[in-house]
């Protein structure tokens, strides 16, 4: 996956907002895996992956339906950010080892 930015996390969280809470972690792991695969494809072929984008988390998340940016962060919006951050941390912790 390409370098992570705050906008990537926000976009992923907005995609998770449209997913049932109990399915969010699995969907986030799937987006991370697809972004990583897309980045490998981009490096190998010099172009974006046809299904998963350019290798950024945002590019992958935008291939899904994305909720509008909330006016304020309530409990559900915060839950989407928590899930996104937790799964990203797990991904990067495994990349280091």
Contact 86, 92 (CB under 8 A): no
Burial of 11 (0-12, 13-18, 19+ CB in 10 A): buried
Within a domain: 38: yes
Q: Which residues 6+ apart lie within 8 Å of 91 measured at CB?
A: 1, 29, 32, 36
84, 83, 3: which is closest to 36 by C-alpha?
3
In this predicted structure, what is the pLDDT of residue 44?
97
* pLDDT > 70 fraction of the chain, expressed in percent and rounded: 99
Within a domain: 50: yes
Q: Which two tokens stand for residue 9?
A: 């996390």
Mean pLDDT (whole number) for 19-32: 98
Within a domain: 39: yes
Within a domain: 1: no
Q: How many structural domains comprise the chain?
A: 1
Mean pLDDT (whole number) for 9-19: 98
Q: What is the pLDDT of residues 66-77, one digit of tens each?
A: 999 999 999 999
Within a domain: 48: yes
Q: How far apart are CA 56 and CA 78, in angstroms?
A: 22
The domain of 82 spans: 6-96
pLDDT at residue 97 is higher than 70: no
In this predicted structure, what is the pLDDT of residue 96?
73
């Amino acid at each position: 996956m390409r370098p992570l930015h705050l906008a990537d996390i926000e976009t992923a969280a907005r995609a998770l907002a449209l997913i049932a809470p109990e399915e969010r972690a699995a969907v986030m792991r799937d987006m991370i895996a697809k972004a990583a695969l897309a980045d490998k494809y981009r490096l190998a072929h010099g172009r974006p992956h046809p299904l998963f984008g350019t290798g950024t988390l945002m590019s992958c998340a935008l291939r899904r339906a994305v909720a509008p940016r909330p006016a304020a962060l309530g409990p559900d919006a915060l839950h989407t950010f928590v899930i996104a951050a937790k799964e990203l941390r797990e991904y990067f912790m495994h990349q280091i080892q």
